[in-house]
Amino acid sequence: MINKKFIKKLKESYNKHESERRQIISLSNAVLHDSKRIIFALHREDFKKAEESLAEIEKTIKILDSKFGHSRLSEEGAFKAAMEEFAEAKLFYLVARGEKIDEFEKINLDVDSYIGGICDLTGELVRRAVNLASKGKLKEVEKVKDIINDIMAELVEFDMTGYLRTKYDQAKTNLRKIEQISYEIKIRK
């Protein structure tokens, strides 16, 4: 007693969903990988490569959004991970260029991606501070410390739970790291 038309319809829906899933995961993995490359380019101060890659990623995100819609995309963990990594890369780019941490234009990003990206940004800023210190740019290290302090002053106002709480705790650890770096610089002067 099975309605074969119903089963056929289920199979078609399932196959369509799985096809979409594979496409979303594939493109999301490209966004994730390219976002990591942007971060490495920024650590090498290769702003041209970072800008080009950001433009390509934004095109890919727009394609994904127009093809599948934001609600469908947000069902996939690979997409969420890619958006968080993209947020981290774009925010790091903005900070490295001396710009404000702000909402991205023309990109539909959810709150968790922004918050996760901001928390992860603190780790990249600590790494930047270490690189700056090794080059003797000690005033720049203090600027990085101020940025991380400003970020943490804002994040402390959130009542984060679950996954984002873990991200916040990592950001607090990064604050301690930059404070330790600053302390050691002052002692050695």
pLDDT at 1 (0 to 100): 83
Domain with CATH 1.20.58.200 in the chain: 110-189
Dump pLDDT digits (tens) for 93-112: 999 999 999 999 889 899 99
Is residue 189 pLDDT above 80, yes or no? no
Closest CA to 131 of 86, 178, 88, 87: 178
Mean pLDDT of the chain: 95
Q: Quote the pTM value.
A: 0.92
Question: Start-end ranges of CATH 1.20.58.2140 in the chain?
Answer: 1-103
Domain 1-103 has CATH 1.20.58.2140: yes
The sign of the CA dihedral 58, 60, 66, 72 is negative
Give me the mean pLDDT over the 130-144 stretch: 94
Q: Which long-range CB contacts under 8 A does 156-164 form with residues at least 24 apart?
A: 158/115, 160/115, 163/112, 163/116, 164/112, 164/115, 164/116, 164/119
pLDDT at 108: 86
CATH class entry, domain 110-189: mainly alpha
